[in-house]
Amino acid sequence: MLIKISELLSVFPDAEAYLEDRQKTLKDVLDSKTKLIKERQDYNRQNRQDFERWFFDLFIEVFLKKDTKKLEREIKRNDWILNPIKKGNGITEQDIEIAKAYPLMDLIGTDKTIINCPNPDHEDKNPSCSINKKANFLYCFSCNYYADSIKYVQDNLGLGFVDAVRRLI
């Protein structure tokens, strides 16, 4: 059973306050690191020779900017949790992730990993379709059909993307 993050935040109201505080701290750290990088780059351009400039630019890129990229990813993830983006059709990015995570083997109704292809246009009757349990997708080696949970529901029930997501959540 999948639980929406918004439901977890309602169960643990302190978690939202913690995430907001964490988000503010992360943004402050990112701002200070970005300022430090800019200062070091400016100093490097003004006071170094060509080879030294190249070396220190590489040093800044490898050691300092790597940390900022990690911070940016965590800030983006926290923004996504705190402020889910509502699409014009009423589904959020979280809804899509939950729908994609719905176990494909439960949808198909099998516990086998090699099955007959569920593609409605597939002609071959031999089991040529492999289900990857870990990544939650299937692939047919005969007709090159690929599907995750959402695409499987779309193709086999004749639904659009939004309706397939709503069916799965």
Give Cβ neighbours of residue 107 (< 8 Å, ≥ 6 apart).
149, 152, 153
pLDDT, average across residues 150-161: 86
DSSP per-residue codes, 89-136: TS-BHHHHHHHHHS-HHHHHT---SEE----TT----S--EEEETTTT
101 and 159 share one domain: yes
52 and 77 share one domain: yes
Residue 8: which pLDDT band, with cuts at 50, 70 and 90? low
Instruction: Indicate whether 17 pLDDT > 70.
Output: yes
12 and 76 share one domain: yes
Helix count (H) and strand count (E) of the chain?
8, 4
72 and 100 share one domain: no
Tens of pLDDT, residues 119-137: 666 677 777 788 888 888 8
Q: Which H or E run includes 146?
A: strand 146-147
Checking 10-19 for CB contacts under 8 A at 24+ apart, the result is 16/82, 19/78, 19/81, 19/82
pLDDT at 1: 40
159 and 104 share one domain: yes
Instruction: Indicate whether 11 pLDDT > 80.
Output: no
67 and 21 share one domain: yes
17 and 75 share one domain: yes
147 and 120 share one domain: yes
pLDDT at 27: 92
pLDDT at 84: 63
Residue 143: which pLDDT band, with cuts at 50, 70 and 90? confident
